[in-house]
Amino acid sequence: MKLLHLSDLHIVPPGHTLFGADPSNHLASCVDDINRHHTDAALCVITGDLTHDGDEAAYRQLAELLRPLRVPVRLLLGNHDHRETFRQVFPDMPVDARGFVQSVHEIGDTALVFLDTLTAGTHEGRLCAARLQWLDDRLAALAGRNVHLFSHHPAMEIGLDSMDWLRLREGPQLLDLLRRHGNVRHVFSGHVHRPSAGTWHGMAFSTVRGTHHQHALDLALQGPATTVMEPPGYAVVLVRESGTVVHFHDFLDASPRYPYVKGADRPVSVGMA
């Protein structure tokens, strides 16, 4: 099964720009890339910061941009989003009984669990007691299944102090819960605007670039993150019985390609006639 992981679109209303460019143009290019290469994906998961300021015009712009996407999509919320406005524009996106934008999507033996870590007034991630209880109940119901967990805020530190201080505050509680159930295979997050992967207390995790701007890989920086217009990207996730593979793809990269040609596999001297 193939999944697509996008994050941090930061869409602004039509006519506006962000860091010198229009996030809508980047997302349109991303949708085009997916439609050309990955229409066989079972689901496209976008892990929050759908908009930059949570305004209705930006959500409506997002709805227009996603209309041509030929893969089903699931939208999560990030710290730049506004839950009520999102729900007005996307009334069909699943929510839990309390109105948090979190849900479960089952595909064969795999269960995808989507968390809502947004709390108004803070940029850090939060999981209140009600949301943790919801997750506890869902993981209990999914005993024995391969669970892939998605959230905007990562619970783990990735060594980037400029973003780690805004990670999920309830990381210890989440870890305790995941260990107790033991059925989460991989944790996917956004928020950090960087591709990273590794393990967190024995569980695999990955984060992904934003589709617009990124955060610089400055491991010494203590203050707020530096924004850098590195190439945007998304992840192509292959879920197999033997395990899960995450490919990071920079969809605007225009590096030259050299398809294999039989007999031409010797080193070529650049610049020689």
Residues that bind Fe ion (CB under 5 A): 8, 49
Q: Distance between CA 191 and CA 209 in Å, rounded?
A: 9
State the minimum distance, in angstroms, from the CB of residue 214 to Fe ion: 10
State the minimum distance, in angstroms, from the CB of residue 41 to Fe ion: 23
State the minimum distance, in angstroms, from the CB of residue 52 to Fe ion: 8
Closest residue to Fe ion, based on beta-carbon distance: 49
| Cβ-based nearer residue to Fe ion, 20 or 271 | 20
| Cβ-based nearer residue to Fe ion, 8 or 170 | 8
| Cβ-based nearer residue to Fe ion, 45 or 139 | 45
State the minimum distance, in angstroms, from the CB of residue 88 to Fe ion: 21
Contact yes or no for 191/163 (Cβ under 8 A)? yes
Give 152-167 as a DSSP string: SS-SS--S-HHHHTTS
Give the chain as a DSSP string: -EEEEE----B--TT--BTTB-HHHHHHHHHHHHHHH-TT-SEEEEES--BSS--HHHHHHHHHHHTT--S-EEEE--TT--HHHHHHH-TTS---TTS-S-EEEEETTEEEEE-----TT-SSB---HHHHHHHHHHHHHTTTSEEEEEESS-SS--S-HHHHTTSBTTHHHHHHHHHHH--EEEEEE-SS-S-EEEEETTEEEEE---SS-EE---TT--SSPPEE-PPP-EEEEEEETTEEEEEEE-TT---------TT--S---TT--
| Cβ-based nearer residue to Fe ion, 110 or 154 | 154
| Cβ-based nearer residue to Fe ion, 8 or 116 | 8
State the minimum distance, in angstroms, from the CB of residue 48 to Fe ion: 7
| Cβ-based nearer residue to Fe ion, 49 or 170 | 49
State the minimum distance, in angstroms, from the CB of residue 152 to Fe ion: 8
| Cβ-based nearer residue to Fe ion, 138 or 153 | 153
